[in-house]
Amino acid sequence: SLDYCVVKIPRWDLAKFNRVSTKIGSSMKSVGEVMAIGRNFEEAFQKALRMVDENVNGFDPYIKPVNENELREPTDKRMFVLAAALKENYTVAKLYELTKIDRWFLEKFKNIVEYYKILESINSGSITHEILKSAKQMGFSDKQIAVAIKSTELAVRKLREEFKITPFVKQIDTVAAEWPASTNYLYLTYNGSTHDLQFPGEFIMVLGSGVYRIGSSVEFDWCAVGCLRELKNQNKKTIMVNYNPETVSTDYDMSDRLYFEEISFEVVMDIYNIEQPSGVILC
């Protein structure tokens, strides 16, 4: 069976318009989409939420208040109303009745919020290796953990490195090990024990422009593609970091290694520490 989970979430830029309905239905309102890969649903889902909006730390119960009308009729921010409802101890049965979201997903959302409550009950000085590792395996970012335990992102990162809790690089195996995998699609996960490939160094790392939004679209991705092509002409090995499945830069044949990952301080530094590239280019 396949050992990875993929979550795609559309991006809506409705806040940039006056008098526009935030309700979403069968007519297309999204301006872009993201794709996150993890070893379990919770990990991939929280990654995807951060990719859609860099100001969001994950499945955060404090972004929106509970509003049952918003749970009944989908809006662009319903996920966060759902998180708030779970924080207010709404049951899965009650939420299913309101949202008609499959109970399997609701149980997964509940797992995240329940773990967030555990993190909030701990102070930064008493967090253990097991608690921190479990949080990372459920897709919590360092910044998200820092907010919950009232610490800072850098302090959590330092603690994580002391505990030797670092992500593993996994290769997407589209044929479930029926044949040897040779794809260059890579992702980071804390639900692993070994890397899937070697890290010889000497790569040039190119950071993409992320999700399409109003004001940033395919023309910015073309900068990354042009950069990759020029590096190839100079016989440099390339690493592409991006999370937008609609782009040309995330095509399998554009770079030597393609990380479908968040473009955040935490993740870029994790990839940098693993790959030890000889240079980084921001596109």
pLDDT in tens, 160-218: 999 999 999 999 887 766 777 677 899 999 999 999 999 999 999 999 999 998 888 88
Rounded mean pLDDT, 248-275: 95
Average pLDDT over residues 136-159: 97
- Give the architecture-level CATH label for domain 5-162: Orthogonal Bundle (1.10)
Which residue ranges make up each domain of the chain?
5-162, 168-282
Per-residue pLDDT, 180: 72
Tens of pLDDT, residue by residue over 143-154, are 999 999 999 999
Q: State the pTM of this model.
A: 0.94
209 closest CA partner among 177, 174, 249, 236: 249
Q: What pLDDT score was predicted for residue 215?
A: 82
Render pLDDT for 257-268 as a digit per residue (tens, 0 to 9).
999 999 999 999
The answer, yes or no, to whether residue 46 has pLDDT greater than 70, is yes
Residue 214 confidence (pLDDT):
86
How many Cβ atoms are within 10 Å of 253's Cβ, its own excluded?
Answer: 6
Average pLDDT of the chain is 94
Topology at the third CATH level for domain 168-282: Rossmann fold (3.40.50)
CA distance readout (Å), 3 to 7, 167, 271: 14, 16, 21
Q: How confident is the model at residue 274 (pLDDT cuts 50, 70, 90)?
A: very high
Confidence at residue 1, expressed as pLDDT on a 0 to 100 scale: 59
Angle, in degrees to the nearest 10, between helices 78-87 and 103-120: 60
One-letter identity of residue 212: Y
